[in-house]
Structure 1
Amino acid sequence: MFSKACEYGIKAAIFIATKSFEGKRVSPKEIANEINSPQAFTAKILQALVKHNVVNSVKGAYGGFEIDKNDINRIKLFQIVNAIDGDSIYNGCGLGLETCDENHPCPVHDKFKSVREELKYMLENTSLEELALNIKSGASFLKV
C-alpha cells in the first residue's frame, strides 16, 4: 500500500522517536541498520523528513537525527506519508488505472473508497508517540 520509501520513512521516524525519548540522537547508519534499509536510500528519506519538519538534523560530532520530545505526540502518521509519498494514497485507483472516478469507476472503486477513507482516518489519528511507546514497551517491533 505504501511505497518502499514510505515504509522506511515510517520505520525511521518511529526508531528516531524511541531514541529521542531517551535523549539520544541517531546517525543515518544506525537508522539504516535498524530498519534494514540501504544507507544512501535512508539518507534521502531522512532529508525529506527533515524538510517536512518531522525530524530534526543536528550537525557535528554529537549530531544525528532527533525529534523534540514535546513534538513526538503531535506528529501523526499522515505527516510522514505526506513527506514521502504525498497525497497519492488518498487519490489513486485501487487497481492503478490512470482514470478512475465516480463517473468512470474501476471494478473495485466503491470498495476501495471505503478502505481509503479508513486508512486516511488511521493515518490522521495515529501519533508517532503511540507507535514509539509500543516499541519501547515490547508490544510491537520494527525488526525481527
Structure 2
Amino acid sequence: MLSNASKYAIRAILYLAIHTDETHKIGGIKIAEELQTPPPFLAKLLRQLATNRLISSTKGPNGGFFLDKANREKSIWDVIVCIDGTYKFDACFMGLAECNDDNPCPAHYIVSPFKKKILGDFRDKTITMLVKEIKTKGTVISLKGFDL
C-alpha cells in the first residue's frame, strides 16, 4: 500500500527520533548505512522531509538531520502525504474511477473499514508515540546486524 519512498522516509524519521535531538545531528550517509537504504534516494527523501518541516537540518561541519520537539509531534500520515500524497488511500481498491458508499465496487465494503482503520492509526500516532512503542515492544526499523 505504501511506496518504497514512504517506507524509507518513515524509517528514517523513526531512526532520527531515536538517535537525534537539537544537539546531536546525523548525516544522510550514516542514516542510509544504518537503515540499509540507497544513499542517493534517501538523501532526496530527507531533503523533501526537511523542506516540508517534518525533520530539521543544519548545514556545516556540525550539521546534519535531527528531530526537534515539533517534528516529533508529526504523524506517520504527515510523512505519507509529504512523500506519496493521499491518492493510494483515496483510490478504489479495484481501480474504478469512482468508488464510495453510494457507488461501491465489489470490494468496497471489505476494504473500506481496513482503509479507515489504518488511516486513523496513521493520523493519530505521533512519531513520539511510535518511538515509545519501538522501545517497549522491541520492534525494529532495520535488520542491520541481524544474522539472517
Cα distance in 1 for residues equivalent to 2:2 and 2:58: 28
Partner of 1:92: 91
Cα distance in 2 for residues equivalent to 1:29 and 1:40: 9
> Is the aligned partner of 1:131 residue 2:130?
yes
Letter in structure 2 aligned against 1:142 = I
The alignment yields a C-alpha RMSD, in angstroms, of 2.0
Partner of 2:30: 30
Shift of 1:102: 3.9
Partner of 1:44: 44
- Structure 1 contact 78–123 (Cα < 8 Å) conserved: yes
Structure 1 residue runs of 4 or more that deviate by more than 4 Å after TM superposition: none
Shift of 1:130: 1.9
- Structure 2 contact 22–67 (Cα < 8 Å) conserved: no
1:46-65 counterparts in 2 under 5 A?
46-65=46-65
Shift of 1:132: 2.1
- Name the SS for the 2:20 alignment partner: helix
Cα distance in 1 for residues equivalent to 2:72 and 2:59: 24
Shift of 1:99: 4.0
Shift of 1:27: 0.8
1:3-22 counterparts in 2 under 5 A?
3-21=3-21
State the TM-score, normalizing by the size of structure 2.
0.85
State the TM-score, normalizing by the size of structure 1.
0.87
Partner of 2:121: 122
Distance 1:138 1:110, change over 3 A: closer
Q: Where do 5+ consecutive residues of structure 2 fail to align?
A: 144-148
Shift of 1:89: 3.0
- Name the SS for the 2:57 alignment partner: strand
Percentage of matched positions with identical amino acids: 27
